[in-house]
Amino acid sequence: MQLQVLKRRWLSLLHHITGEHEWTVDGETYSCSHGTLTGDQCLRTRWLQCGSPSFKALKSLIENKSLIRDLEQMTLFKHTGSLEVYHNVILKFAPKRLHFTYDTMLARTKLAVLDHNENVGRFQAVTRAGAPRYKKCYSRSAKEWILKNMYEKKTNHYARELLRRTKKTNHYARELLRRTTENCTGINFPSNISRSVHPVSIAPEPAPSKEELLSKRRSRT
């Protein structure tokens, strides 16, 4: 979205909240993007009085200069999903509940970065027939079963390369491989080492079929 359009929409809040849905700026007429409100809706809504203390307080927030400047950063689409994935990788290498010395923390963070960089941007996994793969998950926030995309298996070539260079197969090396092998292809470890325990589902109802969830997902888009 263009910055000017975004700013105009943001500032249009000051008109809408006072019950003014069409206004003029520098000879140009603008209006809210919602549909026409019924007379009943206009009467029942408790609009703010222009010039009231509440209006003035909200106006100072909406017109805050640093906030308006931040809008410039929002004109490009940004998704926080990949950042969350990266944080999860860091937690895998450096769990919060454990204390590490500075050197250890540095090394673990570097490993997390290597792991993340090797696996970032994986494509969605497909079935043998070429159809995209999904998994069923229970969403706590939406309180319903949803489908999540499944991605290609992770790899850990960087870990193998590190081991090759250091020529060590000691406890730390095994630990490194264990952490990077979870959900990875390439190295087989005994199941008691590489498998994590799945928690009991918190869903109050059993999951519907994937087909049912997929048709629901398509109907929303």
Which residues of this chain interact with Zn ion, rule CB under 5 A?
Answer: 16, 21, 32
Whole-number Å distance between alpha carbons of 111 and 102: 14
User: Which residue has the closest beta carbon to Zn ion?
Assistant: 32
Residues 6+ apart with CB under 8 A from 80: none
The three-point CA angle 156-159-164 to 5° equals: 130
Cβ 9 to Zn ion shortest distance, Å: 11
Cβ 48 to Zn ion shortest distance, Å: 12
CB-nearer residue toward Zn ion: 58 or 113: 58
CB-nearer residue toward Zn ion: 14 or 162: 14
Q: Are 89 and 117 in contact (CB under 8 A)?
A: no
Q: Given the structure tokens 């206009």, which residue do they identify?
A: 42
Whole-number Å distance between alpha carbons of 123 and 201: 27
CB-nearer residue toward Zn ion: 21 or 174: 21
CB-nearer residue toward Zn ion: 47 or 172: 47
Cβ 16 to Zn ion shortest distance, Å: 4
**Residue of 156, 79, 46, 160 lying closest to 112 (CA atoms):** 156
Residue 127 CA, chain-centre distance (Å), reads 25
Helix ranges (H only) for the chain are: 3-11, 13-16, 39-44, 53-62, 65-71, 81-93, 102-119, 157-166, 171-181, 191-194, 210-220
CB-nearer residue toward Zn ion: 12 or 181: 12
Cβ 69 to Zn ion shortest distance, Å: 25
Cβ 72 to Zn ion shortest distance, Å: 25
